Amino acid sequence: MAEVTLPTGVNFVEQVMAAAGKTVIPYQKYTLSNGLTVILHQDASDPLVHVDMTYHVGSAREELGKSGFAHFFEHMMFQGSENVADEQHFKLITEAGGTLNGTTNGDRTNYFQTVPANQLEKMLWLESDRMGFLVDAVTQEKFEVQRETVKNERGQSYDNRPYGLLGERVAEALYPAGHPYSWQTIGYLEDLDRVNVNDLKAFFLKWYGPNNATLTIGGDIDAKETLALVEQYFGSIPRGPEIAMPEKPTFTINEDRYISMEDNVHLPLVYMSYPTVSVRHADEAPLDVLSSILGGGKTSLLYKNLVKNQLAVQASVGHPCAELACTFTLLALPHPASGKTLADIEKVIRDSLVEFEERGVEDDDLAKVKASMEASFIFGLQSVSGKVSTLAANQTFKGDPNYIEKDIARYANVTKADVMRVFKKYIKGQHGVIMSIVPKGKLDLIAAQDNFIPAPRSKGQASKTSAESLVVRKASDNFDRSKMPTSGANKSVAVPQMWNKTLANGIKVLGTQSIETPTTSLLLKIPAGHYYSEKDKAGVVSLLASALNESTTKRSAEEMSNELQKLGSSIAIYAGNQYLNINVSTLTKNLDATMVLVNEKLMHPAFIEAEFSRNKSNAIQGAINSKKDAGYLASTAYRQLLQADNIAATSSQGTEQSLNNITLADVKAFYQQQVKPSDSQLIVVSDLKEKALIKSLNVFSTWQGKGTSLVLTLAKPETKAGVIYLVNKEGAAQSAIRIGKRSMTQDIVGEYYKSYLMNFTLGGAFNSRINLNLREDKGYTYGARSGFSADKFSGTFTASAEVRADVTDKSIVEFVSEIKGYREQGITAEELSFMRNSINQRDALKYETPRAKLGFLAQILEYDLKPSFVQERAEIVETISAEEINELAKKHLNLAEMLMVVVGDAKTLKPQLKALGYEVIDYEI
């Protein structure tokens, strides 16, 4: 470290270098005198940086009766600080061409942003200002708005979602009253309603000091310059109080605890949860292996005993782990046709545990988990954000950023005896919580009568925090923190170097080399998508995709799954509107073995009647179950209303009726007609060069033929505009809103792209007019947006949100006001500048990962583009005038041409919506 002169106040801790043959993220670790841990990872492969600030505080650090504070503060940290104006955090990063977010769990809260490298100083200014200068900027008004936003998030993600309260109810029953994990991160509404703004400030002052935080910076950085900036912006922030981490409470469950609830669901569910250890405990890895044997895919016991024989639509096993505790969970949803109750399913699960003990642990069980772990760690290194978040998490929870090798070793060293030992210690003969969720009025389906009621939840101390009791820490700087740093020129970003080739059988290949990780990613797009099928048999391509994921004529589905898991590879086959897609991810050392399996799936499907019957039946149940979700109902109704009676009016997943129409012969016939190589598109991103890759692609050489060409005209329907179509969802806590119309088909540098630029201000960014109004100003929703969506055949303009049920009518008024106002008054000069900066500085993020490169190259191949289209778009962004944007707004945002779909409690909503002056038409899916 002699070459780096450290700024005053920065202390060097350690440096870890890359090592041949080892999975290591190189880094340098430092501390500031105020206790802030700083980790730097240099990676000049792309001109971008990722900044992660992780605080070692989550919902498990909250006081009784004050649940949800950690998550609440995640929201408040984006609301401006003393030197950053309200709503500016999102705006500044978006304008810089970056992305950002924050997440909270039981044990940590992290804030992160990925931006062009020239924006690093601005990011450090933003992060330091909310660490050291937030409290006095937290106003009662911001507090109230974000409290409503959090309530909306709870409504959308928990209360209004099928099975959404499962985790909350199980945690209440599993953990003792007052255990840090006995409540969910989102918190309870009554706690959020009871506290005041000073309670929230006190929580911040206790936990959000630099000595309880890790700042991790990765990417195209200079270590010396970065350390100087870190010391400048963070060094003056005083330490917070010294906080001891909570103990890991031990507890025992002396008998099985049966609990149940009725929910607005189609299928009942049984969920069994057993307490085990804590994260990175010596027994965590063998418990993970056990969960894989019992419920990890088609080779697992629960799949064999429940799903394959159609006793259940779904069954899975997991071992989620956290800092203070882990749980071993088993879940199943019985198939209605099986006639099985949850008690029957529970017995099958318990019998499967007995079967496991008799079966024992096989060599492949260990090989699969070890291969999966190796692959997941390596794939996690494909992005700078992945590497930074790994370093940050390892430092936060282990005090050691360099933990990947130890993690890999934990799983590599698991023995058969370890797995049997943990089974006998934590599962066999042990007690847990058995939760039944059943459709309303179907309590007769529960696994057993409830025998447990959680102890009353403590509300904690009734007193509220006063402003006078807060001890606010103030930083003293030798520079003017109120001045936002300026940024240098954005570094140029090179479009990936590409090669292309057409194989002898007609597959068009476009590839690029990416040498950061020894991995290969492929996307094969076969012109055999949903649009090639008939409306009365919608879903046939989805069922074909399911069949291709089953047995081949050479291997059973279980054998295929076993081989893939031992390679640590994945082959995902799924239906799109235009294409049947095959997405492949593999370590390059296993590419040839994986491609043999890809080719086998494509060329030699077995089309077994029993497998087809199971997949069809499960798809039908999925279609029925989806109708319990407000978002699904809204999107389905909207799609049907915007399309005439044609294939585009249906989802590629099909409907209950269309799926019932499909036979195995239909699937075979579609396969024979359409799954051909000619005109297929193959996109490849690999660390291999072109010559080596082409050799691996020779596996497709015997695949021949050309499918039927697609001739499709999607006529516009006679649907009435200017009205509200109301879909009833009785008792819904939230309403789903869709407002829009049919619009343009997609183009790359024409009116469709320019209209995307036009909409950016209205509803295309966090700081758009619609989102700032409905979420940030009114607190009506967790998020609201608008945008254009299209393919080569049709397109739509849609504004949408999930809003609190009691403000459905008010939300529509605000949507209409924003769309109408933008159309009539146009874009401001400030908004035009914001849009230009935001979009034209994003290039560094477009091509970073293999996944990003796949998407970019896929667009080039599908639309036969030259790489210069990137520059053409940049010039459009730079030169499009306010007048042109305003003309596009006038043309495409005419509310008189739009219809509205609202999904919610019709009995309550109908009179309210009529009172707005709209014709309200009842609509059924």
The amino acid that residue 458 corresponds to is S
Report the C-alpha gap between 772 and 726 in whole angstroms. Answer: 26
Higher pLDDT, 21 or 224: 224
Report the C-alpha gap between 468 and 835 in whole angstroms. Answer: 43
Report the C-alpha gap between 453 and 459 in whole angstroms. Answer: 17
Residue range 311-351, pLDDT digits in tens:
999 999 999 999 999 999 999 999 999 999 999 999 999 99
Question: Quick one: pLDDT at residue 3?
Answer: 53
The answer on pLDDT for 460 being more than 80 is no
Report the C-alpha gap between 276 and 322 in whole angstroms. Answer: 11
- The count of other CB atoms within 10 Å of the CB of residue 194 is 15
Full set of structural domains in the chain with CATH: 10-246 (3.30.830.10), 257-445 (3.30.830.10), 498-633+643-700 (3.30.830.10), 724-922 (3.30.830.10)
* CA 110 to chain centroid: 16
The answer on pLDDT for 589 being more than 90 is yes
Positions of E strands within 503-590: 508-513, 519-526, 570-575, 580-587
Average pLDDT over residues 366-393: 91
Average pLDDT over residues 881-895: 98
Report the C-alpha gap between 311 and 329 in whole angstroms. Answer: 19
Residue range 136-165, pLDDT digits in tens:
888 888 888 888 888 888 888 888 888 999
Mean pLDDT over each residue of the chain, to the nearest integer: 93
- The count of other CB atoms within 10 Å of the CB of residue 813 is 12
Question: Quick one: pLDDT at residue 446?
Answer: 96
Question: Quick one: pLDDT at residue 461?
Answer: 67
In the chain, the N- to C-terminal Cα span, in Å, equals 67
Q: Tell me, letter by letter, the H, E, C secondary structure of 15-74.
A: EECCCCCCCCCCEEEEEECCCCEEEEEECCCCCEEEEEEEECCCHHHCCCCCCCHHHHHH
Question: Quick one: pLDDT at residue 117?
Answer: 92
Question: Quick one: pLDDT at residue 462?
Answer: 58
Question: Quick one: pLDDT at residue 844?
Answer: 67
Angle between helices 284-295 and 363-379 (to 10 degrees): 110
Q: Are 710 and 527 in contact (CB under 8 A)?
A: yes
Q: Are 634 and 727 in contact (CB under 8 A)?
A: yes
The answer on pLDDT for 176 being more than 50 is yes
The answer on pLDDT for 915 being more than 50 is yes
Q: Are 60 and 237 in contact (CB under 8 A)?
A: no
CA dihedral 639, 641, 647, 652 (to 10 degrees): 20
62 phi and psi angles, rounded to 5 deg: -80, 155
Going by the DSSP 8-state scheme, the letter that residue 909 receives in this structure is: H
CA dihedral 560, 561, 562, 563 (to 10 degrees): 50
Residue range 669-700, pLDDT digits in tens:
999 999 999 999 999 999 999 999 999 999 99
Report the C-alpha gap between 402 and 13 in whole angstroms. Answer: 13
Average pLDDT over residues 849-856: 87
Rg, Å, the chain Cα set: 28
Question: Quick one: pLDDT at residue 867?
Answer: 87
What are the start-end ranges of the H helices in 719-849? 751-763, 769-771, 808-825, 829-840, 843-846
Q: Tell me, letter by letter, the H, E, C secondary structure of 255-324.
A: CCEEEEEEECCCCCEEEEEEECCCCCCCCHHHHHHHHHHHHCHHHCHHHHHHHCCCCEEEEEEECCECCC
Average pLDDT over residues 296-303: 93
The answer on pLDDT for 851 being more than 70 is yes
Residues 6+ positions from 467 with CB-CB distance below 8 Å: 198
Going by the DSSP 8-state scheme, the letter that residue 368 receives in this structure is: H
Average pLDDT over residues 377-394: 92
Which has the closest alpha carbon to 919: 642, 707, 721, 659?
721
Residues 6+ positions from 378 with CB-CB distance below 8 Å: 23, 517, 518, 519, 587
User: Where do we find the tokens 């397109």?
Assistant: 795
Question: Quick one: pLDDT at residue 1?
Answer: 41
Question: Quick one: pLDDT at residue 192?
Answer: 85
- The count of other CB atoms within 10 Å of the CB of residue 387 is 23
The answer on pLDDT for 306 being more than 80 is yes
Residue range 568-582, pLDDT digits in tens:
999 999 999 999 999
Question: Quick one: pLDDT at residue 463?
Answer: 65
3-class DSSP state of 535:
helix
Report the C-alpha gap between 887 and 691 in whole angstroms. Answer: 50
Share of the chain above pLDDT 70, in %: 99
Q: Are 686 and 514 in contact (CB under 8 A)?
A: yes
Residue range 86-138, pLDDT digits in tens:
888 999 999 988 999 999 999 999 999 999 999 999 999 999 999 999 988 88
Residue range 466-492, pLDDT digits in tens:
888 888 888 888 899 999 998 877 777
The answer on pLDDT for 880 being more than 90 is yes
Token pair, residue 736, equals 């789903």
Question: Quick one: pLDDT at residue 4?
Answer: 62
Question: Quick one: pLDDT at residue 2?
Answer: 42
Report the C-alpha gap between 599 and 553 in whole angstroms. Answer: 12
Going by the DSSP 8-state scheme, the letter that residue 727 receives in this structure is: E
Share of the chain above pLDDT 90, in %: 79
Question: Quick one: pLDDT at residue 46?
Answer: 86
Q: Are 430 and 241 in contact (CB under 8 A)?
A: no
Report the C-alpha gap between 600 and 559 in whole angstroms. Answer: 12
